[in-house]
Amino acid sequence: MPVSFSIMPPLHFVLASQSPRRRQLLGTLPYPHSILVPEVDEDLHLDQDPAIYVQRTARQKAEVAAGQIPTPSTERLLIVAADTTVALAGEIMGKPGSGSEAREMLIRLRGRTHQVHTGLCLIDRATGREIISVHSAEVTMRDYTMEEISRYVATGDPMDKAGAYAIQHPEFRPVARLDGCYLAVMGFSLCDLINRLAEIEIEIAFDRAALVKAHQGYACPVLEHLGRP
């Protein structure tokens, strides 16, 4: 009697984001991806707890993007969206609207510990399954000087960053201590994505050594359990 085999279509990621950092990180995985930028009101859930806020915003992005993708497809589409915010003493610190606002944010954060919450929403178009998660990291800033703040703000880098800083900035290097996933603080935890895919029984290939290197020497608690549901 002949045996039939079910062949899964190839994976294709759809990143619901215009962030160059998220695109760069997703591009380290050996799968094709496309970009779809959904129009959403990112202030819609600002009255929520910061960790809830990023989850709901990520879900909103993913669902809007999913609704814009025509069907059917010869590939297995995985829609991915993320959202990141900085919270100091429970207060959400979004992207600065001006250089002076960026300077004020950096002064408030200086020498203190705050939280970075990164929400993730994954939608598998083949099954309709949706997974939402959040990674929360504890970040302690170093005691940088006012001159360092001025030089950094002058670069323009803080203007599209929650909390007005990028952990990966090669000159400013604002972080003294990190407890959590470095990539999540950048805005998109590949570690979390890989684990969420494992939850829906999708095992993907990834270069563990390259992923470790991408964390820039910071220990990541999620890396220890990669790919395990």
Catalytic residue set: 83
50: nearest Cα among 98, 91, 110, 3: 91
Q: Are strands 33-35 and 76-88 parallel, antiparallel or unpaired?
A: unpaired
78, 123 contact by CB (below 8 A): yes
- The rounded distance, in Å, linking the Cα atoms of 35 and 48 is 28
Burial classification of residue 31, based on how many CB atoms lie within 10 Å of its CB (0-12 exposed, 13-18 middle, 19 or more buried): middle
User: At residue 151, what is the residue type?
Assistant: R
